[in-house]
Structure 1
Amino acid sequence: MRLLITAVTVAVLSVAGLTTTAHAERALKVSAAEVYLVDATEGTVRFAKRETRRVPVASLAKVMTAYVVRKTAPLSDVVTVSASDVRHAVAGGATRAGLRAGERLTVRDLLYGMMLPSGADASQALARTYGPGVRRFVARMNAAARSLGMRDTWYVNADGLPRPGGDHSTARDQVLLAQAALRDPVIAQVAGTARYAVPKSKAHRSHVWRNTNELVPGEAFGVKTGYTKAAGHCLMFAAERDGHVLVGVLLGDTGEKARFRTARRLLDASAAT
Structure 2
Amino acid sequence: MKNNKNGNAALVAVLIMIILIGIGAIVMMLGGRNDIKDTDDNPQEKKNNVVTTTTTAATAPVPETPKEVDLYLKQSPDFKKTDIKGLTSQATLLADLDDDVIYAGSNMDLRIYPASLTKVLTVLVACENAKSYDDTYTFKPEDLAPLEEENASMAGFKPGEKVTIMDLLYGAVLPSGADACVGLENAIAGSKDKFMELMNKRIQELGLKNTHFTNTTGLHDEKHYTTLADMAVIMKVANHNVTCRKVLNTMKYTTAQTQQNPTGIDLQCTVLGRVSGFFIDKNGNGSNDDSISITGGKTGYTNEAGFAMATFAKDTDNGHTYCCIISKSSTAATCGSETVAMFEKYVPGSKAKVPGTADAAAPATTTAAAAAKPAA
TM-score when normalising by structure 1: 0.89
Matched, 1:260 2:336: yes
Structure 2 CA distance, aligned partners of 1:270 and 1:8? 27
**In 1, are the aligned partners of 2:135 and 2:187 still within 8 Å (CA)?**
no
Matched, 1:59 2:116: yes
Moved more, 207-216 or 250-259: 207-216
RMSD: 2.5
Structure 1 CA distance, aligned partners of 2:250 and 2:73? 32
**In 2, are the aligned partners of 1:192 and 1:222 still within 8 Å (CA)?**
yes
Higher relative contact order (CA 8 A, sep 6+): 1
Pair 27,204 (structure 1): closer, same or farther in 2 beyond 3 Å: closer
Gaps of 5+ in 1: none
**In 2, are the aligned partners of 1:97 and 1:121 still within 8 Å (CA)?**
yes
Structure 2 CA distance, aligned partners of 1:34 and 1:6? 30
Structure 1 CA distance, aligned partners of 2:154 and 2:260? 19
Structure 1 CA distance, aligned partners of 2:65 and 2:214? 27
Residue type of the partner of 1:200? Q
Structure 2 CA distance, aligned partners of 1:238 and 1:31? 21
Summarize deviations over 1:46-82 as a string: whole Å, max 9, x none: 1111000111100011111101111111211111112
Identity of aligned residues (%): 23
Match of 1:195 in 2: 252
Match of 1:166 in 2: 223
Residue type of the partner of 2:106? K
Residue type of the partner of 1:153? T
- Structure with the bigger percentage of helix: 2
Matched, 1:27 2:83: yes
Give the Å deviation of 1:240. 1.8
**In 1, are the aligned partners of 2:296 and 2:312 still within 8 Å (CA)?**
yes
Match of 1:155 in 2: 213
Pair 14,36 (structure 1): closer, same or farther in 2 beyond 3 Å: same
Match of 1:232 in 2: 306
**In 2, are the aligned partners of 1:9 and 1:41 still within 8 Å (CA)?**
no
Give the Å deviation of 1:132. 2.1
Structure 1 CA distance, aligned partners of 2:89 and 2:232? 15
Pair 7,199 (structure 1): closer, same or farther in 2 beyond 3 Å: closer
Structure 2 CA distance, aligned partners of 1:99 and 1:182? 27
Match of 1:247 in 2: 323
Give the Å deviation of 1:15. 6.1
Higher-Rg structure is 2
**In 1, are the aligned partners of 2:73 and 2:233 still within 8 Å (CA)?**
no
Summarize deviations over 1:116-167 as a string: whole Å, max 9, x none: 000001101111332321012112111111111211000011100013x430
Structure 2 CA distance, aligned partners of 1:203 and 1:53? 44
Structure 2 CA distance, aligned partners of 1:109 and 1:129? 12
Pair 8,133 (structure 1): closer, same or farther in 2 beyond 3 Å: closer
Moved more, 87-96 or 238-247: 238-247
**In 1, are the aligned partners of 2:137 and 2:186 still within 8 Å (CA)?**
no
Structure 2 CA distance, aligned partners of 1:15 and 1:114? 26
Pair 99,130 (structure 1): closer, same or farther in 2 beyond 3 Å: same
**In 2, are the aligned partners of 1:104 and 1:204 still within 8 Å (CA)?**
no
Summarize deviations over 1:28-54 as a string: whole Å, max 9, x none: 343210112111233321111100011
TM-score when normalising by structure 2: 0.66
Structure 2 CA distance, aligned partners of 1:15 and 1:175? 8
**In 2, are the aligned partners of 1:21 and 1:45 still within 8 Å (CA)?**
no
Residue type of the partner of 1:27? D
**Secondary structure at 1:222's aligned position in 2?**
strand
Give the Å deviation of 1:170. 0.3
Match of 1:110 in 2: 168
Runs of 4+ in structure 1 displaced over 4 angstroms? 4-13, 215-218
Structure 2 CA distance, aligned partners of 1:264 and 1:57? 20
Pair 199,141 (structure 1): closer, same or farther in 2 beyond 3 Å: closer
Pair 126,182 (structure 1): closer, same or farther in 2 beyond 3 Å: same
